[in-house]
Structure 1
Amino acid sequence: MSGISKYNEGKRIAFVLLDRFSMIAFSSVIEPLRLANRLLGADEYVWSTYSLDGNPVRASNGVEVKADFSVKDLEDADVTLLCTGLDVELLPLDPDLGKRLRRLNAMGRTYGALCTGAYLLARYNLLDGRRCTIHWENLRSLKEEFPAIDVSQEIFTIDRNCITCAGGTASLDMMLRLIAIQHGTHLAHEIAETFLYQNIRAGESVQRHDAEARTGIYNAKILDAVRIMDLHIEDPLSCQQLAMTVNLSPRQLERLFRRHFNCTPGQYYLRLRLDTARDLLRRTGRPVLDVAIACGFASTSHFTKCYRERFGCTPTEERQSYQWGIAPAARGSKTQAIS
């Protein structure tokens, strides 16, 4: 965190808004700054919004936000944050934005991203040798596409002059941390209290609820089995291997899965691998064969057969539909929740 001392020198913050950015992540970083100014009785922080062309930008919730400037006017901000959200993988790279971000980095300015913005920083080669985080829905795809980058599951990271945040209310925790660095923890806690935000989280906090909260299941054996499955997507274990790992017989493990998920361990595992494959197809440009192998399928033919049975389309059709913005429901997806 030592490099963030640069943040102490600056109060000019640039928010680069990109199409379908997350409104909650954006408002959660601006509001602490507004309140800090009010409590300090001075305009300690000054911020501006930027878009690629200077025109308003529509957030993922449909609200349009006015941009103060174009990225061509982004010259010398002390902190620059990319604000993104849905479908960040489909955003085109803007040469002006990349050039200006690299210039700010060379000047020692602080830069970073909210929600899914770390993906763009990676594409601009601004995360080399840096530790970063991204929203949990994009974690696996970012790791797959940029294996050399150190991707964390924390809610926010500060690595020298690079700050990244998983978005949502974690943006509030990150900004409160930065305010505390500059003005002390008392001000940060006063801001949090005004927002009725009782527990400021450290960056090391995990993004997701634990498996118990997500599934509503409290059987330790089945939860361990689910965690192990998630760790072995590329090299799936057999039912017998899974059972041995959690100290059960294959028959006992199958009974547990049928009771809690109404399916066999193998069926649950296959759905998990196919859901992962769908995420990679949508969020990366990796060839279908690479996605198949990354999700434990030995051939594209077997992968395609399983994929069509699960989602009602082939992997190639999935990618094409997603890139063209066609909703799955519009093409008769057979996606089902696991009950």
Structure 2
Amino acid sequence: MEITGKCQKIGFLLMPNFSLIAFSSAIEPLRMANWITGADLYSSCLISQDGNAVISSAGVCTEVEYSLEQLPVLDILFVCGASPIARTGNETIIAWLRKEKRSSLAIGGIGTGSYVLACAGLLNNHRATIHWWDMDSLREDFPHIQVTNNLFEIDNSRFTCSGGTAAMDMLLFLIGQQQGADLAAAISEQFVCERIRTSQDQQRVPLRARIGANQPKLIEAVQLIEANIEEPLSTSDLAHHVGVSRRQLERLFRQHLQTMPSRYYLQVRLEKARQILHRTDKPILQVGIECGFASASYFSTAYRNHYGITPREERKRMVEDPQETNAGSGALLHHSRLMTPDADL
């Protein structure tokens, strides 16, 4: 396990009503990195606007060490935002962040902390993410930000994540980049994480949140799709089970999901296949069958058309260089068993 010698100093700026789960998911990997290695790889400190204790959204009162005026030298500062977004009362923090805009300090937003960074102009012309509940607000209020649906985004010295346990994925990614994939994997195992999710993993946005609750037929059709992966239903079968005509079902998909039922169905099956490839060492042919592909060639062609590589190439890349599984992102994946590429695809 290769370990760097420099101690990273990371601060957490807690805003009133901050998300306790997001904060703990971010700070605990740092503590565990030190514990596993027996080295002081990371030091963390807690900060509030005025140096006084801060109450989380769960009602837990948390003491801090510094105010913004007393801030020590840091490598990274994470803003732990309020849950839900606090649109007023942040003027002092936003003004302070604006002063840091041209400094070398790397700054991140956890949960709605992304919105605070956006208010300070720190995310202009950057990729950024936020919890799906607040995604529309971030897009509408700040058109110069490239808002994504990913679990976390790292764009130069700007770090944002969607909150919740996604904060752990982002910190594990950083630890993996700085200290090596083995340490990140060891931390993940200590926290009983099924896998380290990458920056390319997307938030699972509830369908009702995307299209509203006034489209029960469409929601029912999507639920049927998700429940019938291994033996896909035809569009006519979907329409029959939902109780609408095929033409009406296609109209609903075009209007609200900007696609056709068959294409949406294919995307769901491919996403499921990719999850299985990442999480297991099942033979690729078996993965295709479990996701409703009748032949190896059809699975391989559909996968390549959607992701740009074949299932075999994806599996091979995961084995040869886990940190480069998502091209261009440096995303980190860990697998406890070596997976040999199958010869059938």
- TM class by smaller structure: 0.5 to 0.7
Q: Pairwise CA RMSD of aligned residues? A: 3.0
Tell me: CA distance 1:80–1:10, structure 2 relative to 1, closer, same or farther (3 Å): farther
The separation in 2 between residues aligned to 1:123 and 1:164, in whole angstroms, is 14
Q: Which amino acid aligns with 1:171?
A: A
Tell me: CA distance 1:149–1:38, structure 2 relative to 1, closer, same or farther (3 Å): same
Q: Which amino acid aligns with 1:50?
A: I
Structure 1 residue 71: Cα displacement: 1.2
Query: Is 1:145 matched with 2:151?
Result: no
The separation in 1 between residues aligned to 2:193 and 2:219, in whole angstroms, is 22
Q: Which residue of 2 aligns with 1:273?
A: none
- Judge conservation of contact 1:101–1:111 (CA < 8 Å) in 2: no
Which of 58, 61, 67 in structure 1 is aligned with 2:58? 61
Query: Is 1:199 matched with 2:205?
Result: no
What TM-score, normalized to structure 2? 0.59
The separation in 2 between residues aligned to 1:139 and 1:55, in whole angstroms, is 30
Q: Give the ranges of 4+ consecutive aligned residues of structure 1 lying more than 4 Å apart after TM superposition.
A: 7-10, 209-216, 239-244
Tell me: CA distance 1:127–1:244, structure 2 relative to 1, closer, same or farther (3 Å): same
Q: Please state which structure has a larger fraction of its residues in helix.
A: 1
Q: Which residue of 1 aligns with 2:224?
A: 218
Q: Which amino acid aligns with 1:68?
A: E
Query: Is 1:44 matched with 2:41?
Result: yes
Q: Which residue of 2 aligns with 1:245?
A: 251
Structure 2 unaligned segments of length 5 or more: list them: 208-217, 227-244, 255-345
Tell me: CA distance 1:241–1:151, structure 2 relative to 1, closer, same or farther (3 Å): farther
What TM-score, normalized to structure 1? 0.60
Which of 128, 135, 156 in structure 2 is aligned with 1:132? 128
Structure 1 residue 90: Cα displacement: 3.0
Query: Is 1:14 matched with 2:11?
Result: yes
- Judge conservation of contact 1:134–1:165 (CA < 8 Å) in 2: yes
Q: Which residue of 1 aligns with 2:171?
A: 175
Alignment of 1:146-165 (within 5 A): 146-165=142-161
The separation in 2 between residues aligned to 1:247 and 1:141, in whole angstroms, is 24
The separation in 1 between residues aligned to 2:124 and 2:222, in whole angstroms, is 39
Tell me: CA distance 1:70–1:247, structure 2 relative to 1, closer, same or farther (3 Å): closer
DSSP 3-state at the match of 1:191: helix
Aligned-residue identity in percent = 36
Tell me: CA distance 1:146–1:42, structure 2 relative to 1, closer, same or farther (3 Å): same
Q: Which amino acid aligns with 1:183?
A: Q
DSSP 3-state at the match of 1:89: coil
Q: Which residue of 2 aligns with 1:309?
A: none
The separation in 1 between residues aligned to 2:43 and 2:193, in whole angstroms, is 23
- Judge conservation of contact 1:75–1:100 (CA < 8 Å) in 2: no
Equivalent pairs counted in the alignment come to 223
Structure 1 residue 147: Cα displacement: 1.8
